[in-house]
């Protein structure tokens, strides 16, 4: 039986006294990733809404940490021109970083894929969403300045056209899962009046997003085995961002869950076959993913079942939501831990992975009570 309290306890074991969450208790993952921290913090909104309003205090503590992290990046946010190399590409390590020291909140300066626009979009979306739900403490002048600087930042890095490293911190290409969160974050802040946003900054992003969808990307990356037509990161376009229409959402879900054989496209050749990403022990990130590849050649199977459950709950397709939740719940360990991914039929070493716990708790809380009874 899914034990919400124990799953939450495992997630909170990753939290420092200052409120900062690390991704996992492993040497490589014992850092604060902005994206991971925000999803774990977001869990407290749902706990406050469905369980006890006292959780809003922890929600605001996590939000304050995120503002503090970005405040330490003000020298990058205040640039009107961001450095580029001789080819015109943005110099990634001079942009907002993805991970930070959980104690000092200073950036970790290892040279890797730091340019992750979805994390910026998530922050913008989350602040506007919590403002709309009246459970966020009053924003200070500093907070509003940071929001406004983030608007200038995504404009200056040309979020709609210049490539980023994406949610998976890999090759530089243009991605729907990066552009979509920024579009939603900008639109939501505009609706709430939290910042001054040029209308064309939203429009140009929407047009760019539409030109890529239903693909994750129409670009080829430097790794020939990678396929970026279909990607699990696109699930987030459906939730929490709701930035694609129902028809596009259906296409994304169909490709990820079932595949779509023998589709003809100019972008990927005359005999493109969409291989489904859903596997027996989870969901591949994308076809050809080499991160934690199993010995038999199968890419790591990530625990996105809970995210798919949330999507079906939002559609009021509760039987499907329960099915996907139970599929993910069946792989929770006896210690109430949810791993990052399965490799060679075993959880990898990043266990527990905090934001997988967050998605599981949110998925459970969003289900109507009568359907919670069907949870294993």
CATH number at residue 19: 1.50.10.10
pLDDT of residue 268: 45
Alpha-carbon gap, residue 103 to 242, rounded angstroms: 34
CA–chain centroid gap for 119, Å, is 7
Alpha-carbon gap, residue 25 to 35, rounded angstroms: 17
Alpha-carbon gap, residue 134 to 140, rounded angstroms: 15
Tell me: pLDDT of 262 over 60.
no
Sign of CA dihedral 176, 182, 186, 189: positive
String of DSSP letters for 180-203: HHHHHHHHHHHHHT-S---HHHHH
Q: Work out how many domains the chain is built from and give that number.
A: 1
Alpha-carbon gap, residue 350 to 54, rounded angstroms: 30
For the residues 173-184, what does the mean pLDDT come to? 98
Residues 119-171 pLDDT 10s: 999 999 999 999 999 998 889 999 999 999 999 999 999 999 999 999 999 99
Pull the structure tokens for residue 67.
């503002």
Pull the structure tokens for residue 103.
């104690």
- Element spanning 320, H or E: helix 318-329
pLDDT of residue 269: 46
| Eight-state DSSP code of residue 19 | S
Alpha-carbon gap, residue 280 to 323, rounded angstroms: 14
pLDDT of residue 90: 80
Tell me: pLDDT of 1 over 50.
yes
pLDDT of residue 93: 73
Tell me: pLDDT of 297 over 50.
yes
Query: CB under 8 Å to 270, separation ≥6 — which residues?
Result: 264
3-class SS shares of the chain: helix, strand, coil, % to 5: 45, 10, 45
Alpha-carbon gap, residue 173 to 171, rounded angstroms: 6
Residues 63-97 pLDDT 10s: 999 999 999 998 899 887 777 877 777 877 788 99
Rg of the chain over all Cα atoms, to the nearest angstrom: 20
Q: Residue 220 belongs to what domain range?
A: 4-372
pLDDT of residue 213: 97
pLDDT of residue 376: 86
Query: CB under 8 Å to 33, separation ≥6 — which residues?
Result: 23, 98, 99, 100, 119
Alpha-carbon gap, residue 291 to 168, rounded angstroms: 10
Q: To the nearest whole percent, how much of the chain has pLDDT over 90?
A: 82
Alpha-carbon gap, residue 317 to 371, rounded angstroms: 11
């Amino acid at each position: 039986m899914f034990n919400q309290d124990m799953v939450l306890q495992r997630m909170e074991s990753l939290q420092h006294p200052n409120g900062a969450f690390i991704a996992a208790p492993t040497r490589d993952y014992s850092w604060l990733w902005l994206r991971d921290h925000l999803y774990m913090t977001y869990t407290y909104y749902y706990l406050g809404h469905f369980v006890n309003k006292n959780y809003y205090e922890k929600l605001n503590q996590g939000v304050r940490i995120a503002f503090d992290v970005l405040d330490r990046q003000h020298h990058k946010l205040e640039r009107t021109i961001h450095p580029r190399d001789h080819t015109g590409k943005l110099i990634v390590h001079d942009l907002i970083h993805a991970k930070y020291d959980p104690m000092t909140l200073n950036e970790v300066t290892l040279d890797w894929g730091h340019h992750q626009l979805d994390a910026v979009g998530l922050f913008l979306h989350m602040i506007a969403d919590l403002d709309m739900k009246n459970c966020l403490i009053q924003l200070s002048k500093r907070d509003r300045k940071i929001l406004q600087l983030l608007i200038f930042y995504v404009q200056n890095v040309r979020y709609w056209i210049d490539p980023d490293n994406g949610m998976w911190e890999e090759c530089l290409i243009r991605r729907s899962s990066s552009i979509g969160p920024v579009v939603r974050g900008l639109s939501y802040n505009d609706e709430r009046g939290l910042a001054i946003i040029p209308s064309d900054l939203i429009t140009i992003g929407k047009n760019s997003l539409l030109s890529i969808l239903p693909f994750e990307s129409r670009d080829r990356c430097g790794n020939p085995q990678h396929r970026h037509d279909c990607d699990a990161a696109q699930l987030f376009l459906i939730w929490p961002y709701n930035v694609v229409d129902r028809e596009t959402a259906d296409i994304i879900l169909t490709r990820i869950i079932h595949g779509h054989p023998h589709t003809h496209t100019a972008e990927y050749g005359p005999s493109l076959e969409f291989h489904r990403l859903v596997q027996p022990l989870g969901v591949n990130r994308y076809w050809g993913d080499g991160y934690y590849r199993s010995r038999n050649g199968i890419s790591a199977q990530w625990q996105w079942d809970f995210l798919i459950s949330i999507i079906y709950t939002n559609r009021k397709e509760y039987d499907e939501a329960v099915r996907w939740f139970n599929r993910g719940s069946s792989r929770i360990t006896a210690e109430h831990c949810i791993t990052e991914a399965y490799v060679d039929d075993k959880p990898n070493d990043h266990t527990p992975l905090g934001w997988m716990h967050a998605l599981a708790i949110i998925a459970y809380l969003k289900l109507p009570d009568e359907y919670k009874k069907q949870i294993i």
